[in-house]
């Protein structure tokens, strides 16, 4: 499933690129809520989210030429809206975040292996149907994991996959019509 296991430095967990409400649709499923978001990752987005943080910008400097789009699946606890898992199904660099703080304040990002697993969205939903409680426990969300009904997750999985597919097709087509600007380098 994964290639590199990257540890994101302390402090960036609080500042991960936040979901854009206008681009996100939410589906409640008992103790978890899924967010399905079209997102882009490029120099502009990195600067908007991290430009105020010199250390973060040092971390992201090698990534400033990225220009990627995709659908992100967020997994929140319904009660407090905390995000525990994030599946970034980007075209060039798909990856998964486990949102828990390691003892030094960092968190884990796992690269996704498209060649081994295929399209990330169906894989993510299939994996959540089969293993969401275990993944939530790995993300230190044990109380939420204990209340997940995987049968309910299975019932909504096709809806989420369809929503993600439609969102990506609609936004990708619109993006193709927009002029592409070169990323600004500072």
Residue whose structure tokens are 């990708």? 172
For the question of whether the overall pTM of this predicted structure is more than 0.75, the answer is: yes
Give 182's contacts (C-beta < 8 A, 6+ positions apart): none
pLDDT tens readout for residues 127-183:
999 999 999 998 889 999 999 999 999 999 999 999 998 988 887 655 544 443 443
Sign of the Cα torsion 156, 168, 132, 113 reads positive
Closest by Cα among 112, 125, 177, 117 to 156: 125
Closest by Cα among 153, 147, 149, 102 to 124: 153
How many Å separate Cα 171 from the centre of its chain? 17
């Amino acid at each position: 499933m994964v290639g590199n296991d990257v540890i994101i430095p302390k402090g960036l967990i609080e500042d991960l690129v936040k979901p854009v409400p206008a681009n996100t649709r939410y589906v409640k499923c008992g103790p978890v809520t899924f967010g399905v978001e079209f997102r882009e990752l490029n120099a502009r987005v990195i600067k908007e989210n991290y430009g105020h943080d010199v250390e973060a910008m040092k971390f992201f400097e090698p990534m400033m030429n990225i220009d990627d789009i995709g659908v992100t699946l967020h997994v929140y606890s319904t009660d407090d809206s905390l995000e525990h898992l994030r599946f970034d199904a980007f075209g060039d660099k798909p990856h998964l975040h486990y949102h828990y703080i390691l003892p030094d304040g960092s968190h884990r990002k796992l690269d996704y292996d498209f060649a081994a697993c295929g399209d990330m969205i169906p894989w993510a939903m299939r994996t959540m149907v089969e293993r969401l409680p275990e993944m939530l426990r790995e993300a230190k969300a044990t109380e939420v994991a204990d209340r997940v009904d995987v049968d309910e997750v299975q019932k909504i999985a096709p809806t989420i996959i369809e929503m993600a597919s439609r969102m990506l097709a609609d936004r990708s087509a619109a993006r193709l019509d927009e002029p592409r600007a070169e990323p600004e380098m500072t």
